[in-house]
Amino acid sequence: MIPSLMPAQRLALGEVSEFYRVPAIAGSNRSRRVRFGLLADPQYADAEPDARNNRHYRRSLGKLADAVAELNRRDLDFVVTLGDLVDRDWSAFADILPLYRQLRHPHLTVMGNHDADVVSRHLYAQRPPLGLPKHYFQFAVAGYRFIAIDGNDLSLYCNPANGDEYQQAQRMLAETLAAGRPQAQPWNGALGAAQLRWLELALQGAAERQEIIIVLGHYPLAPRDKHNLWNNEPVVQLLRRYRARAYFGGHQHGGGYQRIDHTDFITLKGMVDGADGIPFAVAELSGTELILTGFGPQESLALK
């Protein structure tokens, strides 16, 4: 486990530090079977709709409340939000946190780029300034190994209190742009060298224990898209090498899917998009069989 918060960061974040907490997940007595809820990109803000991008920021509160109510009616081991709980303002956390507290299941958060931006600005305004925390972790339940990666590790959301990581991100973005890759966008990010080493060790350990591997992240890895992680290719290669069963991401609000070797790369649709639709999903894993039950505009998938 990577410690997400230093004491000063935890104090400065207050209640928002709950989103960096990794709860204990007991799981059920079902061997090689697990069910969990998936949400992506509520991206709440007390702001007018963005008609060009079809984003209805204020409606995310009602959508999230409805999704939580539906998930509470189901027998789940946990729920994951794949990033971007808020869009732009620190105050938005105070509105969205009570909705998550209504969940009767353990809740885990993957940090999105909008979350990272808001948290980073808040922490850098402290005296002394504080850096953006890392948030990558792993846990096991019912014979599955869940590994969450942090795509904001190297990003333009780092602040000067993160040392030279902002400069590293600038160089990586420039290299990605020079290579003509579509994800050379300032609103994406990458895994740093230390996290890549940690990821390989986590995958290696899971393979040795014969656990089925599920990886969670905010930035998509596949198919090719301008929203992908800057260094998606080495991450995809690691998942292929260790035969990860699936990768779940968000960030690309239109959703996406691609199978590469043994791994299904699934991108959830963004909740903030559209005036009425409420996309979310329940995933059920039984051995290596994956059933994704979609709600609202989210498609369902049955994957052997």
Q: The tokens of 138 are what? A: 């792993």
pLDDT tens per residue, range 249-296: 999 999 999 999 999 999 999 999 999 999 999 999 999 999 999 999
* CA–CA gap between residue 287 and residue 221 (Å, rounded): 23
Helix or strand or coil: residue 65?
Answer: helix
pLDDT at 263: 98
pLDDT at 117 over 90: yes
Q: What is the mean pLDDT of residues 199-223?
A: 98
* CA–CA gap between residue 92 and residue 15 (Å, rounded): 12
pLDDT at 29 over 60: no
pLDDT at 63: 98
pLDDT tens per residue, range 228-246: 999 999 999 999 999 999 9
pLDDT at 26: 76
H helices present in the chain, as ranges:
7-13, 59-72, 92-100, 113-124, 165-178, 193-208, 232-241
pLDDT at 291: 98
Mean pLDDT over each residue of the chain, to the nearest integer: 96
pLDDT at 169 over 70: yes
* CA–CA gap between residue 62 and residue 218 (Å, rounded): 22
How do beta strands 137-141 and 144-148 pair?
antiparallel
pLDDT at 32: 81
pLDDT at 149: 98
Cα-flanking dihedrals φ and ψ of residue 138, to 5°? -145, 160
Q: pTM for this one? A: 0.97
Q: The tokens of 21 are what? A: 């907490």
CATH number for the domain running over 7-303:
3.60.21.10
pLDDT at 304: 87
pLDDT at 3: 56
User: 25: pLDDT confidence band, cut at 50, 70 and 90?
Assistant: confident
Q: Could you please report the per-residue DSSP string of 176-223?
A: HHHTT-TT--TT-EE--HHHHHHHHHHHHHHHHTTPEEEEE-SS--SS
